[in-house]
Structure formats: C-alpha cells, structure tokens
Structure 1
Amino acid sequence: MSDKSREYEEVDITLLKELSEADGISGAEKEVSRVAKNYFEMYADEIDYDNLGSIIGLKRGNKNGPKVMIAGHMDEIGFVVRSIDKNGYINLLPVGGWWGHVMPSQSMRITTNSGSKIKGVVGSRAPHGMPADEKERVIKPIDFYLDLGVDSKDEVEKLGIKIGDMITPDTEFEIMNNPNYLLGKAWDDRIGVAVAIDVLKELKDINHEANIFSVGTVQEEVGIRGARTATHKIKPDIAFAIDVTTAKDTPMDKGGLKLGCGVVVSILDASTIGNNALIREIENICNEAGLDINYDCMVAGGTDAGNIHKTLDGVISMTLSIPTRYMHSNRLIIHKKDYVQTVKVISEFCKRVDMNILEDLKNNIR
C-alpha cells in the first residue's frame, strides 16, 4: 500500500495554488474557469462550455467508445455585497453554507466588476463585559458585516464596489510543516477540479477507447445546478463526481476518515447512491494498483452526482471523496496522498474502460 509518510513530489503545486487562490462563488466562477482553461489547453483535444459556464475538456478516444465524465465543481462558498451603510460598512449575503463561528475577524476580499480586489475584515466584538448568553450565541452569517477601514459609503463607492459584488476569503495557499499537508481556501471543490485536470494529464500520451470529459461545474453549492446542464451537453455513459468529505482526525472530529488515507469511495449521501457495479470496478483497480481504499457514507449533503445520475435516462455514476479538515471555512487542509491516489484510480479506469465494460455495468442493474 502507498506510504502516507513519503513526500508526494509528483503533485503539481502550481496548479493547486492557482485553483485555490482563484475567487469564484456560485454564479461567478469565471476566474476559476480561466485557470482550468489554461491547463485544458495543454491536455485536452477540445474545450467547450455549457450555457451556465461549466467548462468541459475532452480527450478523445474511439469515436464510438464510451463517454466518461469526471466532474469537480469550481464554485466556493462566499458572499455578495448586500448593502453599504452610511459609515461604509458592507452588509453580507451568504452564498453557500457558512457557520457563524468561523467568521469573526476573518480577512475577506471583494472582487469588483473591473476585477479589483478590495480587502476587509469581518467585524467582531470584544468579549469584555459581554453577557454570557451572548458569548455562547452563534451569530447568523447574514448578520455579519465587512469593515474596509473607510469613513463613509462614498469612499466605498469610489473603490468601485457595488451591490452584488463577490466576496471571498482572503486566504493564501500554503505548504505546511509536513509538505504533504496543503492549506488553502476553496478545496471544496477546487481539489476536485484539479483531479479532473490531472486525469487528462495522466492520459496525455495514452491511447484509450473512452472519450474522457473532464468538467469544472458551476453552482454546486447552491443546488448542484451546473452538473445537470453539463450532463445534458455531454450525455455521458459513466460519471465520477469528485468532491470533499469531512476528515475526522482532529480533537473536534474524532473517528472515521483521516487525511492521508487514500482513495475514498462514497457509498451514498443525501442526494445519490453510488452504482454498485462501478464501485466494484474501482475496488478492483485499487487492489491491483496497490492503492488504499476507504468508504464514506453521509446522511447529509451531496455532490454533483446527485444531479448527474438522474439526468436524461439515468447515468451510471458514483462519488470519490477527498478528506478535508475545516470544510466551509476560510482555511482548509488536505493531504497529497489522497489527491494522488484519486487521480491514479480514475486514470486507470479511463485507460481500461470500453464498450464491453460499459455493457457489464449496465447489465448489473437489468
């Protein structure tokens, strides 16, 4: 089995840094899409988009070969400017699921229509003299504000800030003290986008029967929207959603999946049940390739597979997850091993899948 302690130097750190630091909440993913496009131009035979903005990189196989879709969503949770008060404070409107405890005193940045980045800090209160019940109360995300360090609304407007502008965490990518641990914002789900890109890189000089569609989807955090439109455009036979799952290896989250555990197969979540025969194929590849395999079941939440599997007349699909600490916050941590092994298992599947394997998968549910 692969060693968690070895340094996974094959990881493209520049790719991960660029994807993590790009700003792109649901409905405003273009900055992320441009990063993905730069890499697709190196590894894909064709680049296309759906009409919501999901980007699709195709590496062709046999014209009549099966279509395989690999989807990671580009959008991150964030905010938009809800209003600007007379003193220049920005009232926030959450886009995606935030927990109030992770927000006070965090640095955020506004992206204006012209592309300027304006930094601010989320307001908080000093605990001195605060009543006990107020200290224990979780403030609703919509009740927070952003302090830009200005005197008035007029100053804010002169910065080019308007209602509806995107607000994202102001977080730099970092390699941590153990170089296998990577910190950044938006691993949910830029790491999935990176997997989709790196699979095409792994297949660059490989002949294969399948037509491989790597997709950066949009608007997953607000209803798994881009996955539906991208699936209609591609009409895949088989699909993998790549997303994150909660790592439970901290003093606050104990037991279950750990960073550095390897491949994580999602059996089910609140939006989908993984195709049993496809799961068995992935298990076989893991065993043959010496990859570690783990299982995840979530009673809440979902991934792009939630809409992919029920689009058209149904798509054979499943989710592969990457454990992540501190999901839906300003700073998340992942492990290189989990990323490398996920790329490996999907790449191996893409190399071997053909019409016979597709028919076997279909026959399993007939």
Structure 2
Amino acid sequence: MTDFNEIDLDLLKKLSEADGIGGMEREISRIVTTYGEQYSDEIRYDNLGSAILKASGQEDGPKIMLSSHMDEVGFMVRSITDDGYVNLLPVGGWWGHVMPAQEMTITTAEDKKIIGVIGSRAPHGLSEEIKEKVIKPMDLYLDLGIDSREAVESLGVSIGDMITPNVQFREMNDSNYLMGKAWDDRCCIGVGLEVLKNLKAIEHNSTIYFAATTQEEVGIRGARTAVHTIKPDIAIALDVTTATDTPFDNKGMKLGGGVVLSVLDSLTIGNSGMVRMMEEIVKDLNLDVRFDFMTVGGTDACNIHKMLDGVVSMTLSLPTRYMHSPRLIIHKEDYIQTIKLVTEFCRRLDWSSLNQMKAAVGISNL
C-alpha cells in the first residue's frame, strides 16, 4: 500500500470558501469537476445537479459509490423591507445563538457578492428574560448598510437569492487545526477528490464513482437520484460528526483521534460485514479508530441503502467542532487517515469480500 500523506490545502480552502446551499451548489460543483477531471475517466450529472466522477477498474469488478454532499446550511432572501433590511429564510438547521452579528454574503442571480451583517441587540437595558431567550432564525435580518428597498434591489438582490456566512479558511495556531465554513460537508468532498487522486496511482479491481451530491441538508435528496444514476453494488457515505472535546461537552470524541466508523445513526445501520472490513484495514494500516453511534441526524447513507434492491452501505465520519455554525474546526490527522482508509478499501474490494459483507446480514444465495 502506497503511503499517501500529502493533502491539498488549497483545495480545502476553495471548497470551504465557496458558497452553496441546497439547490444552489453550482460553485462547489465547478470546483469538484475542475479538480477531479484529471483523476476520473468520465464526469456526469443527475438531474438534481449531483456531480458524479468515475474512476474505472476492471470491467467486471464491483461498483463502489463514495458520497459527500456539496450543500451547506445557509439562508435565502425571504423579503426586503421598505427600510432596506433583508429578512432571512433558513435553508438547513440553524440555532439562533450562533447567528447575530455574523457577516453574510448574498449571491445574486448574476453571481454578484453582496456583504451584510445579521442584526443584534445591545445588552444595555434588556430584561433577563430577553437576554436568555434564543432568537429564532426567522426573526433575524441582514443589514446591508443601506436605507431603502430600492437601494437593495439596485444591487441586484432578489427574493430567493442565496445567503451564506462570509468566512475565510484559516490554519489555526496549531496548523493541524483547520477553521472554515461549510466543513459539513466540504471536508468530505475533499476526501473524495483526494481518494480519486490516490487511486490514479494504483491498480484497483472495482470501479469507483465519487458522487458530490446535492440537497442533503434539506432532506438527503441528491444521494437518492445519484444512486439511480450509478446503480452501485456498495456505498460509503462520507460526512461529519459532532466533536465533543470542548468545555461544553467533554465527552470524548476528540479532534485528531483518527478515523470514525459510524456503526449506526438515527436513519441508517451500517452493514456489519463492511464495518468489520474497515476495522481490518485500520489495523493493517496502523490507523487510529473511533466508533460513532449518532442518535440524532443522518447522512447520504440514509437514502442510499434503501434504493434499488438495497445497497450495502455505511458512513465514515470526520469530527468537527461547532457544526451548523458560521465557523467550524477540523483536524488534519482525521482528514488524512480517512483518505488512507477509503483509498485502501477501494483498492481491496472485490466480489469475494462484497459477498462476505452480504453474508454477514444473512444473505445466503451467493
């Protein structure tokens, strides 16, 4: 097994800083296809906009689907007041505490970027009841620093335009820690592209399809249509999970602790034989491993495993701090180890190992 340690930080920067909520993932799709073109044999799209990159193996080998979603949580322009304030419509799950006083970017239909700030209240004179109350995202607004509806419209802003956090990618004081927006799930878009790059240098029996999917945050939609396009034999959903190593949690899912095998979440139970094969690879590559049991939420695997006549599936996760907020933090070691694990899984998989995974859940007519 070739030792893959080099990662492309410029790719991660571009992925993090690109803007793309559910149904408006075009900026990210362009990055995916531009970067992945040299490492894939074919690029196609489904009708929801998921980009699917193919790395061919043996003609009669299994088809592996890797799935990472392109969309981030964000907002749309819901309405514009006569005084020039922009009312927000959340697209994806937001907690009101993380929003006030944050810079946001409106992307117009002509791809013009307009910067504003979400309004907040000064604490002076507020009652304790008001201070302790979480403002609902629907009650917040964007201040563009202008004073009329006409001025907003003259900038090209329209109802339905995309709004996303205005955040720059940053290596933290320990450069292993990477801060940016949209790590959910752009860091795993990076994983998929890095795996395709690695596979270009090695022989593999299987044909790998990397699906950069759409609309996960609003109902896990793009993964469903991508499955019908690919018709995979087996699939890995790549997504983030919640790090719990801060003073708020202190429960043990640390950044920098290696790969995370998702045994189950609230919407998917990983194939037990597939989990075991991942464990074997972890041991062979001397990687670090944790196990995740996420009782709230799900990933692309939720819809993938239920499509067609069922697809052998599981999720691999990267822990991130401050999920569904404007600024998230991940760790390079988790990213690198996940790339190594997925690359080796794709190299090793053949029909024999896939049939063992099916037998693990009681399928005997093999």
Q: TM-score range by the shorter chain?
A: over 0.9
Task: Give the aligned partner of residue 188 of structure 2.
Answer: 192
5 Å-filtered alignment, 1:59-208, equals 59-208=55-204
5 Å-filtered alignment, 1:1-366, equals 10-365=6-361, 366=363
Distance in structure 2 (CA, Å) of the matches to 1:30 and 1:135: 39
Distance in structure 1 (CA, Å) of the matches to 2:96 and 2:253: 25
Contact 2:319 2:330 in 1 (8 A): yes
For each residue in 1:43-62, what CA deviation from the matched residue of structure 2 results, as whole angstroms up to 9, or x when unmatched?
11110111100001100001
Contact 2:97 2:134 in 1 (8 A): yes
Distance in structure 2 (CA, Å) of the matches to 1:338 and 1:175: 15
For each residue in 1:58-99, what CA deviation from the matched residue of structure 2 results, as whole angstroms up to 9, or x when unmatched?
000011100001111000000000000001000000000000
Contact 2:5 2:336 in 1 (8 A): no
| Matching residue's letter, 1:110 | I
Contact 2:102 2:117 in 1 (8 A): yes
Q: TM-score, normalised by structure 1?
A: 0.97
* Unaligned stretches of 5+ residues in structure 1: 1-7
Task: Give the aligned partner of residue 4 of structure 1.
Answer: none
Distance in structure 2 (CA, Å) of the matches to 1:74 and 1:11: 19
Distance in structure 2 (CA, Å) of the matches to 1:107 and 1:64: 51
How much does 1:354 deviate?
1.0
Contact 2:7 2:194 in 1 (8 A): no
Match of 1:212, SS?
Answer: strand
How much does 1:358 deviate?
1.5
How much does 1:207 deviate?
1.5
| Matching residue's letter, 2:326 | N
Distance in structure 1 (CA, Å) of the matches to 2:355 and 2:295: 31
Distance in structure 2 (CA, Å) of the matches to 1:318 and 1:232: 18
Distance in structure 2 (CA, Å) of the matches to 1:236 and 1:66: 8
Change (3 A) 1:290 1:9: closer
Match of 1:363, SS?
Answer: helix
Match of 2:217, SS?
Answer: coil
Distance in structure 1 (CA, Å) of the matches to 2:34 and 2:334: 24
How much does 1:206 deviate?
1.4
Match of 2:105, SS?
Answer: strand
Distance in structure 2 (CA, Å) of the matches to 1:303 and 1:217: 11
* Unaligned stretches of 5+ residues in structure 2: none
Distance in structure 1 (CA, Å) of the matches to 2:275 and 2:244: 23
Task: Give the aligned partner of residue 5 of structure 1.
Answer: none
How much does 1:39 deviate?
1.2
Match of 1:168, SS?
Answer: strand
How much does 1:9 deviate?
6.9
Match of 1:139, SS?
Answer: coil
How much does 1:364 deviate?
2.0
For each residue in 1:194-220, what CA deviation from the matched residue of structure 2 results, as whole angstroms up to 9, or x when unmatched?
111111011112121100001100000
For each residue in 1:20-44, what CA deviation from the matched residue of structure 2 results, as whole angstroms up to 9, or x when unmatched?
0000000100000000011111211
How much does 1:192 deviate?
1.1
Match of 2:111, SS?
Answer: coil
| Matching residue's letter, 2:300 | D
Match of 1:233, SS?
Answer: helix
Distance in structure 1 (CA, Å) of the matches to 2:202 and 2:15: 26
How much does 1:267 deviate?
0.8
Distance in structure 1 (CA, Å) of the matches to 2:137 and 2:335: 31
Q: TM-score, normalised by structure 2?
A: 0.97
Aligned residues: 359
